[in-house]
Amino acid sequence: MVRKYKPDEVLDMIRQAAKKLKRVPSKREIKNIADACVWLFGSWNKAVIAAGLQPNRSHSQRMYRRVSTKALDGHLCDSISEAIVDNWLTESKIFHTRNTPYPETRHRADWGVGKGDTFIEYFGLAEDSPRYDRSIEKKRELCRKNKIKLIEVYAKDLYPKVCLNDKFKQIIQY
């Protein structure tokens, strides 16, 4: 049996989740009210807006439609999140290249550091699509096969606070 929610209840649940998470929750984080949001407000994002919050990226902004952003060092990044990582590398004085090719494939890593033995990938769409998740596994396998260290960065490493020091401690040069 599906519980019926009142609009104010749904909005309060979204606000409470945002307060707890210290960011706007995704639809998958509050699955129990997702259908109610669509029923009452027309969509998840409309419910988030009604709660007084700024929605996360919409389906139209996912992997099929990229928003290019220029990082501080001039690198073109496929998203604001990638620019945050690129800027962090620049500000930490870590030499890096963009779109580094994986050996013997058409795959590219978001960044290469060192002598080509370390790749950094921002997996911002992990768990958003099976195709993307298969691509993550393929990149992990390519790194294992080619003895390349892979540093995986996720949205939780950037939001609500950038937490890359621990993630990149093995490449920080003191």
Model confidence at 57, pLDDT cuts 50, 70, 90, reads low
The mean pLDDT value of the chain amounts to 87
87-142 pLDDT, tens digit each: 999 999 999 999 999 998 999 999 999 888 999 999 998 988 888 999 999 999 99
Is residue 78 situated within a structural domain? yes
The answer to whether 118 and 148 are in contact (CB under 8 A) is yes
Inter-axis angle of helices 31-41 and 7-21, to 10 degrees?
130
Q: What is the mean pLDDT of residues 14-23?
A: 88
pLDDT at 30: 84
Q: How far apart are CA 131 and CA 2, in angstroms?
A: 31
Looking at the structure, tell me whether residues 76 and 135 fall in a common domain. Answer: yes
Looking at the structure, tell me whether residues 79 and 21 fall in a common domain. Answer: no
Is residue 108 exposed (0-12), middle (13-18) or buried (19+ Cβ within 10 Å)? middle
Is residue 16 situated within a structural domain? yes
Looking at the structure, tell me whether residues 109 and 74 fall in a common domain. Answer: yes
Looking at the structure, tell me whether residues 87 and 38 fall in a common domain. Answer: no
Residue type, 37: C
Task: State the CATH number of the domain containing residue 121.
Answer: 3.40.960.10
Is residue 171 situated within a structural domain? no
Question: 96-105: long-range contacts at Cβ-Cβ below 8 A with a sequence spacing of 24 or more?
Answer: 96/120, 102/139, 102/142, 102/143, 102/146, 102/148, 103/142, 103/146, 103/148, 105/142
Looking at the structure, tell me whether residues 52 and 119 fall in a common domain. Answer: no
- Indicate the number of domains in the chain: 2
Looking at the structure, tell me whether residues 89 and 117 fall in a common domain. Answer: yes
Q: How far apart are CA 8 and CA 6, in angstroms?
A: 6
Domain carrying residue 78: 69-157
Is residue 174 situated within a structural domain? no
3-16 pLDDT, tens digit each: 688 999 999 999 99
- The structure's pTM equals 0.64
Residue 137 phi, psi dihedral angles, 5° rounding = -60, -40
Beta bridge partners of 109: 100
Q: What percent of the chain has pLDDT over 70?
A: 91
Looking at the structure, tell me whether residues 49 and 93 fall in a common domain. Answer: no
Confidence check: pLDDT of 59 > 70: no
Looking at the structure, tell me whether residues 74 and 151 fall in a common domain. Answer: yes
